[in-house]
Amino acid sequence: MKLSNQIYFVFAMSLMVISFFFFFCGFFCAIGSTSYFIEWDLLSLSGVSVVFSLIFDWMSFVFLGSVCLISSCIMKYSYYYMHGEKNMLRFVFIMLFFVGSMNILIVSPNLVSILLGWDGLGLTSYALVIFYQSESSCNGGMITVISNRIGDVSILMGISVMFVSGGWNFLFDGGYLAGFFVVLASCTKSAQMPFSAWLPAAMAAPTPVSALVHSSTLVTAGVYLLIRFNKIVMDSGLSDSLLMISVMTMVMAGLSANFETDMKKIIALSTLSQLGLMVMVLSSGEPELAYFHMIVHAMFKSSLFMCAGFMIHNISGSQDTRNMSGFMTASPLLMSVFSCLNMALSGFPFLAGFYSKDLILESMWENNLNLILVSAVVLATGLTVSYSFRLIFLANSSVSNLQVVSGSQAFNLVVFKSVFFLFSASVVFGFFFFWLFSGIFIGSITTSLNKYYILLAMSFSSIISYCLFSFSGTGSVEFKAPGLKEGAMDMWFIGFFSTKFVSRLILVSGWRKIKLLENGWLEYYGGQGGRSLFLAVSSYSQLGQKSILVSSYLVFCGISLVLVNLIF
């Protein structure tokens, strides 16, 4: 085996060992209710100490363990997916820098040290999105890096605002402006409305990168920032605005996923919906519940992407879900894993997603929200179940839409080994996590009838989606209303307003300036007009100098001067 192939296994095993170490440290910190806060004083300026800080508590240790575990499995999965790639070493090292930047962000308790990991994530994510040199990769990378630069500027503005508080730690009170900049930075990184366009566009990256980005690194950085700075956000009074933004994001992403046909974009939109769920519970002041769902979601979303990547490889790179049928016959193990992961995503009872989503929805149910917000939350929950069962229905269909029935392969052994740990976590991790850290979470007290509302919404959504998709036969529903399906597929035209609309405004304004200024009256009476005038005057002067009258005058003057000199 070549060194370029061995490097996947070396880093995979190293990250696996490190992840187990972090999990044990997090467990002991939670049991002993201890945390370690380390600071290095760099300089003191006008009463403000510029320090480099690190925090190690149960949150940071468990998140570090989750990131390293997922990175280890994805590194092993990359050996299968990136087989034959000429730039293997470059891909591996960019992935390691990406994971390292996320780890720096996790253990950073203040905005100055967070900025190191924050900028590192933005730079390495751009390099990973454009790893495949194509036009779609270039466009996706540009919108990704430009959208995230807004968050970078917000972090810098938050640092300047919190300077008057005496420090940049999340324990300090930064006021309204600091909370606003933290919320703006987290919304750009977690792709909340109206910054949601870059998340599906980042699907141009290789599938291992998508599995890492959408599970535990780039998109969760904004949620983790809100978890750490939740006190500042709640004190700033922006929780109501954050609640409306998150609920709108959930509904928009769930509706778009039900109309989308691209496999990777459906899973990306499901990530966007779950991010909205996390931000929603953060707006109610319960960061522990959001953290619980963030860790559980990372487990099944990464393995879901790996299963999707295997299916895409089997049908010659096509990502159309309408072609992904007949896999139950070709690979029953793959379909069993894929179906369980989708059920965990939809919150099926006693899978990992059930324990976190049920607590979140119960807490929001008891939060005295108005009827519109409660209806939107229930609708978003039903849409999540709908597109999850739609994927199960399409992949398990008995009618094969492939060119040849024998084109698909059984579950690869390398893929199964890489998916095994994360699939096991997707099944049992929610229960064990809730059991180990049960003293930290505060469950809501609801009546027995209210506890069944969520299950009823899930059941009705699954029945309605099954009837619609099975009767249509194509896995998609057609609507006669003009613009409804187009608006849903284009995320309520957020993609248009984030890309083509902005560029069109710039191009139209530039064209008008060229027409009115450079090619208009200013140019006519300015540079071009002056040039034409001077050319005309000089041409008349040259014509006058060439005329016979001027020549005779000059000859006469010359003869007169000579005669005067001879006489006198």
pLDDT in tens, 3-26: 556 777 788 788 888 888 888 888
pLDDT in tens, 323-358: 776 677 767 787 888 888 888 888 777 788 788 887
Mean pLDDT across 243-254: 86
Mean pLDDT across 502-518: 70
- The half-sphere exposure of 452 on its side-chain side, counting CA atoms within 13 A, is 2
Of 116-130, 170-184, 343-357, 493-507, the poorest mean pLDDT is in: 493-507
Report for 203-207, 224-228, 389-393: range of highest mean pLDDT: 224-228
pLDDT in tens, 210-219: 888 887 788 8
310 with 334: CB under 8 angstroms? yes
Residue 266 pLDDT class (50, 70, 90 cuts): confident
Say whether pLDDT at 241 is over 80.
yes
What global pTM score does this model have?
A: 0.81
Mean pLDDT score of the chain:
77
Residue 521 has phi, psi (to 5 degrees) of -65, -35
63 by DSSP, 3-state: which? helix
The 3-class SS string of 303-339 reads HHHHHHHHHHHHCCCCCEHHHCCCHHHHCHHHHHHHH
- The token duo for 448 is 């027995």
- The half-sphere exposure of 443 on its side-chain side, counting CA atoms within 13 A, is 14
Give the pLDDT score at 480: 47
Say whether pLDDT at 519 is over 70.
no
pLDDT in tens, 250-262: 888 888 888 877 8
Could you report how far apart the first and last alpha carbons of the chain are, in Å?
Answer: 110
205 by DSSP, 3-state: which? coil
Give the pLDDT score at 1: 46
C-alpha span between 163 and 167 (Å, rounded): 6
Task: Look at strands 36-45 and 48-56 and give their pairing.
Answer: antiparallel
The 3-class SS string of 96-110 reads HHHHHHHHHHHCCCE
42 by DSSP, 3-state: which? strand
Mean pLDDT across 100-107: 88
Pick the more confident residue, 440 or 408: 440
Residue 416 pLDDT class (50, 70, 90 cuts): confident
Say whether pLDDT at 400 is over 70.
no
pLDDT in tens, 438-471: 666 555 555 666 666 667 776 776 676 666 655 5
